[in-house]
Amino acid sequence: MPLSFDPIAEARRNWEAHGWGAADRMSAATSITRAHQILLHRIDTALEPHGLVFSRFEALALLSFSRTGSLPLGKIGDRLQVHPTSVTNTIDRLEADGLVARVPHPTDRRTTLAELTDSGRRAVTAAAAALADIGYGLDGMSDLETSRTDDALMALRQAAGDFPPDPPARTTGPH
Amino acid sequence: MPLSFDPIAEARRNWEAHGWGAADRMSAATSITRAHQILLHRIDTALEPHGLVFSRFEALALLSFSRTGSLPLGKIGDRLQVHPTSVTNTIDRLEADGLVARVPHPTDRRTTLAELTDSGRRAVTAAAAALADIGYGLDGMSDLETSRTDDALMALRQAAGDFPPDPPARTTGPH
DNA sequence: CAAGATTACTAGGACTTCCGACTATTTGCC
DNA sequence: GGCAAATAGTCGGAAGTCCTAGTAATCTTG
């Protein structure tokens, strides 16, 4: 039973009619929420045959890019910008499926490394291809719309403190 | 410990270096995921003093726009585009807090109406003001970036079947 | 008008995420 | 050296979302 109208556009009209303010922002924020829901569903559906979900795929991808195929759990959390306990959970599942192994850090006994197994490396490669096939769930958005969205959200992420405002100066760095 | 670089830009470089394809799409999809996380945190923080979270606020807002201040649970789910069981959960919490009441439908005994209480109407008004104050969590995005994002995501939502592609023709509608 | 299909809601369960608290280890500093 | 502070990871718990399945009521159709 699909709706016969855009519920977010309808909400915007109501916002304006009631003088609630910031209707454009409300619309964009709600759209981002809904877009996230659509993407997650499409992506997880594409990953399901590979026994993965998006968060687990992201962790595997990160490991596959590292020199040794292994990273401390904490670093994974930093890069993926999720809570440490979420990393524990993610790695728990990947380990249970034999896609990664927990390995003690060679010098720091506090640290645990997640190390990609052969099986994990095969899975992440196949999964990446599957996601590329579905355009990461973004079907319906043009290249221009995609890049504009990416640019706008980069500004949001930067303002939220995800990364510093200025690219590090290379010519006048600390000597 | 904020990162000193943009982890999504870094991921894009790795995607390209490994020939994984659709790097622009990956970047946009990942940005949407992260943006959602940022927005939800900001919005829920702003709503916390009002005893609400975003999903509950959305349900109250919808009710407040209706003529009678009440709607069937199913219609709430359709408009908010969430699963029926999520609506049950949302209304459970709102009812426990005395912000809505479950009322039987006057003619259809299958249907339950959620009806806004006086307390609920006060809460949603105050909460809407609080959210407008923080620009719905979009601080960091310009008006232009906001509207471009909204437009792009509308295309995504439409392609996903949230609402029909064509505005209903008025001159040649079903007679 | 009666049986089957549809619709509305809810119960139970799986998953993911976050938060607070806790243990173990390492680092920094007097 | 030794003690406080910071760091790394995990556990338990609370929320929220979805899915499957089940009950109750209404609609449809032969």
Q: Judge if the beta carbon of A87 is closer than 7 A to nucleic acid strand D.
A: yes
Q: Is residue A23 part of a domain?
A: yes
Q: Is residue B174 part of a domain?
A: no
Residue A142 to residues A9, A80, A158, B21: CA-CA distances in angstroms? 21, 26, 24, 16
Per this entry, what is the length of chain B?
175
> Distance between CA B58 and CA A26 in Å, rounded?
11
- Entry pTM: 0.91
Region A114-127 average pLDDT:
95
Q: Is residue A167 part of a domain?
A: no
- Nearest Cβ partner of A34 from B22, B81, B139? B81
Number of domains, chain B: 1
CATH number of B96's domain: 1.10.10.10
For A69-103, write each residue's pLDDT tens digit. Answer: 999 999 999 999 999 999 999 999 999 999 999 99
Look up the domain containing A40 and give its range. Answer: 7-151
Which chain B residues are within 8 Å of A75, Cβ to Cβ? none
Q: Is residue A133 part of a domain?
A: yes
Q: Is residue A81 part of a domain?
A: yes
Report CB contact under 8 Å: A80, B7: yes
State chain A's mean pLDDT as an integer. Answer: 92
Q: Judge if the beta carbon of A93 is closer than 7 A to nucleic acid strand C.
A: yes
Report CB contact under 8 Å: A149, B147: no
Q: Is residue B171 part of a domain?
A: no
Report CB contact under 8 Å: A78, B54: no
Residue pair B51/B97 in contact (Cβ under 8 Å)? The answer is: yes
What chain B residue is nearest to A127 in terms of C-alpha separation? B20
Instruction: State the sign of the Cα–Cα–Cα–Cα dihedral B104, B106, B110, B115.
Output: negative
Q: Judge if the beta carbon of B75 is closer than 7 A to nucleic acid strand C.
A: yes
Q: Is residue A165 part of a domain?
A: no
Region A46-68 average pLDDT:
95
Q: Is residue B173 part of a domain?
A: no
Q: Which among A64, A79, A78, A43 has a CA at the least distance from the CA of B29?
A: A43
Structure tokens at A145: 């719309």
Report CB contact under 8 Å: A7, B162: yes
The segments of chain B whose pLDDT lies below 50 read 168-175
